[in-house]
Chains A and B, each alone.
Chain A
């Protein structure tokens, strides 16, 4: 059974701070990694995708991947109240393009 683990939170950070969201996965052969943001009552929307070890930056968002440690993270710099949402980590399995989702981490940015 492929597993994707995230701290459920809530994670509270003050406005302007860096929010750090973490995800571990069980399938060592996983190749593709995604972060989705989901506002309450809305559908998930893609924030970042990352496929190789290292960092990938897009605006205020940085995804970090360490396949040896089976760990992927999302950093949000200069956090804003509008970043308050649940963040879902999603991972493909070895030899498969099906996504397994974590249960999500709820982020609250305090003004």
Chain B
């Protein structure tokens, strides 16, 4: 049972480059999330999708876009990467409501 799968695990970008982080879950969850985690800042919500076909901004959405491709997949795109986007990115899913989050293994992104 794979759970939540993120790709890639590591990525180095130069300022201004673009990239897409991929996330897929096989738990038939309705809700999916993208978080970033920075030292001293904790986990902060970037975007979420409560159900297939819907997306909403979280706490720190600037500089990011998302696509809920289908029920399984939720991607995060950086159109023009900035050093401030250097972080560890986690995708998560849940069954919705009060269900807990299940996290992927994370993507460590460095923007130089």
Contacts and interface: CB of A to CB of B under 8 A. Distances in A.
Interface of A: 31-32, 34, 42-46, 49, 51, 88, 90, 92, 97-99, 101-104
Given A43-B90, A43-B105, A98 B48 contact: yes
A43 B104 contact: yes
What range describes how many residues of B lie at the interface? 20 to 34
Nearest to A103: B42
A102 B42 CA distance: 6
A88 B45 contact: no
Interface of B: 31, 40-45, 48, 58, 90, 94, 96-98, 100-106
A46 B102 contact: yes
Contacts, number: 44
B103 A51 contact: no
A98 B96 CA distance: 10
B100 A49 contact: yes
A38 B5 CA distance: 17
B105 to A, nearest CB: 5
Given A31-B98, A32-B98, A101 B104 contact: no
A46 B41 contact: no
Contacts of A98: 45, 48, 58
Contacts of B97: 97
Most buried by B among A31, A34, A42, A44: A44
Contacts of A90: 101
List 3 tightest A-B contacts by C-beta distance, closest first: A103-B42, A43-B103, A101-B43
A68 to B, nearest CB: 20
A26 B90 CA distance: 25
Contact of A51 (B44, B48, B96, B98): B98
Contacts of A46: 100-102
B40 A43 contact: no
Nearest to B96: A97
A75 to B, nearest CB: 19
